């Protein structure tokens, strides 16, 4: 065993400074340069490092003591075994130097605190990093080891309330802050400052059954929430007369069935949407990540929301412009089946330009679909219904099959007028599908 007494090294102008935190206890194994304690003058705090690796056998200090260079700190067993167990090399001859000094008192306009001359440049404080921890002119009060700890975890000291003496931020304060941040709703992460949802014990009010959310629900839930709060949504409602389209579709059902295809309304909607996207290119676009540019796409990959037992997925049909209605209907059925059997590959859900969300098979008159960002618009379809529509020419009401359209768009990219133009264009296409050939 080789026991050495360890003294406070040369700490420059720091004299009779108070020990505010002891970072080791008897039995701890220290690496060379590992922090032993934090001292604080009226201007700054400083960690005092160990000159050697070793095991602490005795402490000669306590919080509140005043120390200067040469004051005894602790006894260290620097024998090979003890030092080796720290995993750090044993330093034979070492001139100790204190770790970074960080201001904890002056406001940002004041000069940086004096740094002891002997501290090597690489150990000197980075003035930018130090000032980054000032919030509203009020400095964060924390020891270098706590600052280092906070930096490693990405914690913002200026937002943490210290519970140590004189409001000093302790390691536990940083840990508690990280925990509370992680527990907050995701809106907080993008700076919306939502208050945390109250935690309610529902069992107090009656019988309950708690079930885990499916993986898809958890993933899509987070994305839907982000899209809803990050893109300013506007929903344009409209109705398209699909009486003739439905007649045509029905007349084609047998022929389609012979080709093994279930010819659905959605396949026609895909074609009509591509036609509208060609006419209104800003709908076939995404905002560039820098928010400075609009990326206009020359391809037409259309996604469709598919309801599966595990939750919502959005398969994408590629190059809809190059496919006929039969091919699209076939692909719609194949992708829906894969989705419901959980066999959809990830790339079959990527690259979409625009999404269709059809609730027509279920019911409803209108809804506000959430944009599948980074796309900028989504078209919701509700149940088509027979309605009396005024015919100007015959001056009479006629029964017409009307399809409700709900177009949500990102108002950062698309203006209200274009939203209305887009649904008007769709109405025109759907009321006379021969136009899709033009
Ligand atoms: N109006 C009236 N009837 C409609 C209709 C509409 N808008 N859309 C479909 N139908 C009819 C179909 O013609 C079909 O009738 P038959 O069985 O008599 O032929 C029936 O409703 C069922 O259609 P479907 O829903 O199975 O087929 P689809 O091609 O229309 O839709 C799919 C496929 C995958 C979009 C659908 O099954 C689905 O999952 N929809 C849910 C999407 C969803 O959850 N969206 C909400 C997302 S939140 O934004």
Strand (E) or helix (H) holding 336: helix 325-340
Q: Hey, which of 30-34, 170-174, 416-420, 434-438 has the most confident mean pLDDT?
A: 416-420
Mean pLDDT value across residues 238-255? 97
Catalytic residue among 118, 123, 233, 411: 411
**How many residues does the structure list for the chain?**
438
Whether the predicted pLDDT of 189 surpasses 60: no
Whose alpha carbon is nearest atom 49 of ligand 1? 369
How many angstroms separate the CA atoms of 21 and 24, rounded? Answer: 9
Whether 245 is in the pocket of ligand 1, judged by its Cβ within 6 Å, is: no
Mean pLDDT value across residues 335-360? 95
430 against 98, higher pLDDT: 430
Cis peptide before 43 (omega within 30 of 0): no
Phi, psi of 314 (to 5 degrees): -125, 90
Looking at the chain, the whole-number percentage of residues with pLDDT higher than 90 is: 55
According to the model, what pLDDT value does residue 190 have? 54
Sorting pLDDT into bands at 50, 70 and 90, what band is 185?
Answer: low
The string of pLDDT tens digits covering residues 262-278 is 999 999 999 999 999 99
CATH numbers and ranges of domains, the chain:
3-182 (2.40.50.100), 218-437 (3.30.559.10)
Whether the predicted pLDDT of 188 surpasses 90: no
Question: 110 an active-site residue?
Answer: no
The string of pLDDT tens digits covering residues 45-65 is 788 888 888 999 999 999 889
The string of pLDDT tens digits covering residues 8-36 is 988 877 788 888 888 899 999 988 888 89
CB atoms within 10 A of CB 407: 24
Report whether 361 contacts 264 (CB < 8 A): no
Whether 269 is in the pocket of ligand 1, judged by its Cβ within 6 Å, is: no
Report whether 90 contacts 53 (CB < 8 A): yes
According to the model, what pLDDT value does residue 44 have? 73
Q: Which residues of 214-239 are buried (b: 16+ CB within 10 A; e: fewer)?
A: eebeeebeeebebbeeebebbbbbbb
Whether 18 is in the pocket of ligand 1, judged by its Cβ within 6 Å, is: no
Instruction: Kindly give the distance from the C-alpha atom of residue 398 to the centroid of ligand 1, in angstroms, as a whole number.
Output: 26
According to the model, what pLDDT value does residue 335 have? 98
Whether the predicted pLDDT of 192 surpasses 90: no
According to the model, what pLDDT value does residue 32 have? 85
Whether 265 is in the pocket of ligand 1, judged by its Cβ within 6 Å, is: yes
Classify residue 142 by its DSSP letter.
Answer: B
Instruction: Kindly give the distance from the C-alpha atom of residue 370 to the centroid of ligand 1, in angstroms, as a whole number.
Output: 18
Mean pLDDT value across residues 110-135? 35
Q: Which atom of ligand 1 is nearest to the CA of 329?
A: 29
The string of pLDDT tens digits covering residues 355-388 is 999 999 999 999 999 999 999 999 999 999 999 9
Instruction: Kindly give the distance from the C-alpha atom of residue 384 to the centroid of ligand 1, in angstroms, as a whole number.
Output: 11
What pTM value is reported for the model? Answer: 0.63
How many angstroms separate the CA atoms of 317 and 335, rounded? Answer: 8
How many angstroms separate the CA atoms of 384 and 381, rounded? Answer: 8
Whose alpha carbon is nearest atom 9 of ligand 1? 361
Average pLDDT, the chain: 84
How many angstroms separate the CA atoms of 413 and 426, rounded? Answer: 19
Share of the chain residues as helix, strand and coil, in percent rounded to the nearest 5: 35, 25, 45
Tally the C-alpha atoms within 13 A of residue 323's C-alpha that lie toward its C-beta.
21
Whether 357 is in the pocket of ligand 1, judged by its Cβ within 6 Å, is: yes
Whether 233 is in the pocket of ligand 1, judged by its Cβ within 6 Å, is: no
Phi, psi of 235 (to 5 degrees): -115, 125
Whether the predicted pLDDT of 86 surpasses 80: no
Strand (E) or helix (H) holding 131: helix 127-131
296 against 167, higher pLDDT: 296
Whose alpha carbon is nearest atom 5 of ligand 1? 360
């Amino acid at each position: 065993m080789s026991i050495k007494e360890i003294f406070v090294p040369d700490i420059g102008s720091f004299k009779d400074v108070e020990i505010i935190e002891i970072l080791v206890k008897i039995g701890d194994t220290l690496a060379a340069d590992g922090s032993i304690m934090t001292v604080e003058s009226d201007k700054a705090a400083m960690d005092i490092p160990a000159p050697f690796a070793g095991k602490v056998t005795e402490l000669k200090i306590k919080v509140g003591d005043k120390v200067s260079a040469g004051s005894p700190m602790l006894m260290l067993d620097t024998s090979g075994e003890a030092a080796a167990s720290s995993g750090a090399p044993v330093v034979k001859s070492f001139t100790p130097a204190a770790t970074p000094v960080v201001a904890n008192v002056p406001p940002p306009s004041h000069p940086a605190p004096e740094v002891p001359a002997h501290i090597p440049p690489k150990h000197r404080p980075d003035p930018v990093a130090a000032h980054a921890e000032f919030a509203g002119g009020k400095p964060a009060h924390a020891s270098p080891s706590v600052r280092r700890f906070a930096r490693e975890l990405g914690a913002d000291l200026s937002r943490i309330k210290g519970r140590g003496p004189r409001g000093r931020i302790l390691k536990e304060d940083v840990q508690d802050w990280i925990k509370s941040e992680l527990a907050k709703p995701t809106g907080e992460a993008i700076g919306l400052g939502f208050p945390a949802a109250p935690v309610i014990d529902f069992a107090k009010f009656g019988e309950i059954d708690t079930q885990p959310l499916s993986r898809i629900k958890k993933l899509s839930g987070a994305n839907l929430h982000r899209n809803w709060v990050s893109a300013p949504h506007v929903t344009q409602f409209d109705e398209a007369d699909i009486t003739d389209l439905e007649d045509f579709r029905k007349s084609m059902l047998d022929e389609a069935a012979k080709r093994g295809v279930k010819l659905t309304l959605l396949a026609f909607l895909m074609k009509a949407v591509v036609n509208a996207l060609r006419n209104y290119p800003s709908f076939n676009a995404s905002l560039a990540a820098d928010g400075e540019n609009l990326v206009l796409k020359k391809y037409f990959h259309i996604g469709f929301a598919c309801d599966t037992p595990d939750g919502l997925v959005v398969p994408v049909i590629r190059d809809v412009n190059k496919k006929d209605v039969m091919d699209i209907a076939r692909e719609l059925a194949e992708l829906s089946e894969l989705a419901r059997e959980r066999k959809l590959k990830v790339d079959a859900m990527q690259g979409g330009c625009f999404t269709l969300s059809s609730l027509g098979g279920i019911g409803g008159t209108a809804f506000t679909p959430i944009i599948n960002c980074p796309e900028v618009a989504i078209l919701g379809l509700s149940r088509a219904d027979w309605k009396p529509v005024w015919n100007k020419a015959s001056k009479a009401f006629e029964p017409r099959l009307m399809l409700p359209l709900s177009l949500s768009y990102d108002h950062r990219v698309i203006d209200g007028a274009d939203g209305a133009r887009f649904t008007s264009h769709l109405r025109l296409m759907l009321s006379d599908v021969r136009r899709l050939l033009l």
